[in-house]
Chain A
Amino acid sequence: MILHIDMDAFFASIEQAINPRLKGKPLIVGSRNNKMYTVVCAASYEAKAYGISSGMASKDAYQLCPNLEFVPAEQSKYIWTSEQIFEMVKTYGFEVSYASIDEFRMDIDKEPQPFILAKTIQKQIEDRFHITASIGIAKNCILAKLASKLKKPNGIAILTEKNLTQALAQTPVQKLCGVGKKSQTSFNSLGIQTCLDLYEKTPDFLQRFSGKNGLNLYAALHATEHFSQEIKEEAPQSIGHSYTLPRASKTPRFIKSWLRLLSEMVAERLRQKNLTSQTTHLWLNGPEIGNLMAQRTQEQATNDGYEIYARTLRIMVKIAPRPALVRALGITCSSLHTPDYPPLFTEQKRREALIKAMDKINTKLGEGSIIPAVITLSRKIA
């Protein structure tokens, strides 16, 4: 059995715990940009009652609720709280893993009293952090996550063999993790309206409908999962990062520092997955240039942030030879391979040693703790 803990309106609840005057008020947590030009990272339940949800433009949120309270996100407190909750639930003696910053999974195996366990966890979280969590328990990760959404906020839902059919029949298919608007429309066109409709489909049907993904979905829904038996994660096709600048800039040094930061972020993820990339893709967006994108494939694969940055600059020179206003930018690496031979030349060896040392520090103190100095320019608004 899997127990899935989903914190209720996590960022907003922490802000309400910090500032009791925000309790009971519609509140959104947004990025550090101006409150009218940002995206809702989290909304309190009082804000959700107005139809405000994560991912919405803050401007739209203010139209729905002009009295909305706004708090700029400060990651350190959310990360610390998340880590503390993770450490706390680990003390129950089960294997625990992160699903996201505000979601945790526990393999509770054949725990005889899952409801009491869930209740105890909820109480401990509330006593210590003054925030609430919803808990779902089911035979596998995907159903446990679904269950955690069924009785929000501060609820517990257990899906057993007895009640599974009824619960799935009452739950629209879009509530299932990974089913977005597009998938929902496709499922609906096939007559799949509820989670039960999907659950009852055969593997053949799902394979015909969406190939390998369909088969994976069937396996995920029907598995009786233990963490150790989890299906092996498939290697990604590409890895990328993008960022929308607070406002458009044409200062080359500023734009380059952002490209360097994104290159380092992509490179770090490549190294975490033990991959190297041959193809670098650059995307630039701005009021004058619209969407500009191009890619370049090199013979030599790399996962070095500096090399990815250098390749990106060569692409930029071609697609935007003159400085232009840039509002958003992104780097994606594809043609991914597992590194097959160690570096041969002295300079390559030196770079690899440097990267390994930086990775070691960043693993210990958190990604982005040690960075190339040029990146600090990205903090300045140009």
Chain B
Amino acid sequence: MKQTFNPKARWDRNMPQQENNPEETSGLLDERIDVLAWFKNGKILPRIFTWKQKKYKIKNISYTWQERRGQELITYFSVNTGIDLYQISFTNISFSWQLDRIIA
């Protein structure tokens, strides 16, 4: 069957990001963090992260997704510490972790 939809169409990458938009920037951090994680059966399971010298124990991972940007494969996790919900990400090329945002 002819494919009518291409999920890889990512023109939205070129759509404007509004720096002053409160919805867009709410909770946005983009800060490097240290993470203790298990790499198990091809899966990455973050357990603890350290942000501003404070340790945050991850109670559960509510969602995981990936995005390819050129050669980089970024794996995103929404993680629950029992108090707050955070979005953290891991980049496979630099092997670095980042705290993207506080979701709630």
Residues of A within 8 A of B (CB): 14, 17-21, 30-35, 70, 72, 75-77, 79-83, 86, 95, 97-101, 105, 107, 130, 227-228, 230, 233, 243, 245-246, 261, 265, 363, 365-369, 371, 375-376, 378-381
Contact = CB atoms under 8 A, between A and B. Distances in A.
A95 B1 contact: yes
Contacts of A75: 10, 12
B17 A32 contact: yes
Most buried by B among A32, A105, A230, A378: A32
Contacts of A245: 16
Contacts of B41: none
B11 A81 contact: no
B41 to A, nearest CB: 15
B5 A98 contact: yes
B85 A366 contact: no
Contacts of B2: 97, 230, 233
B70 interface: yes
A98 B1 CA distance: 9
Given A17-B63, A77-B76, A35 B16 contact: no
Nearest to B13: A368
Interface in B1-44: 1-19, 21-24
Contacts of B24: 32, 72
24 contacts: A18-B63, A21-B104, A32-B18, A32-B23, A33-B18, A33-B21, A34-B21, A35-B23, A72-B21, A72-B24, A77-B63, A77-B76, A79-B7, A79-B8, A83-B7, A98-B3, A105-B1, A230-B1, A265-B11, A367-B8, A368-B10, A379-B17, A381-B16, A381-B19
B65 interface: yes
A72 B33 CA distance: 25
Nearest to B26: A72
A206 B53 CA distance: 71
Given A17-B62, A17-B63, A365 B16 contact: no
Contacts of B12: 75, 368
A230 to B, nearest CB: 6
Nearest to B60: A20
| Residue of B1, B2, B10, B12 with most chain A CB atoms under a 10 A cut-off | B1
A70 B63 contact: no
Q: Name which of B22, B23, B80, B85 has the most chain A CB atoms within 10 A of its CB.
A: B23
Given A19-B62, A368-B14, A371-B14, A98 B9 contact: no
B16 A380 contact: yes
Nearest to B63: A18
The 6 closest A-B pairs by CB, nearest first: A227-B1, A366-B8, A76-B67, A98-B5, A80-B65, A366-B10
Nearest to A73: B12
Contacts of B11: 261, 265, 367-368
Nearest to A371: B14
Contacts of B85: 19-21
A379 B5 CA distance: 25
Contacts of A21: 85, 104
A83 B5 CA distance: 11
Given A95-B1, A367-B8, A32 B15 contact: yes
A103 to B, nearest CB: 8
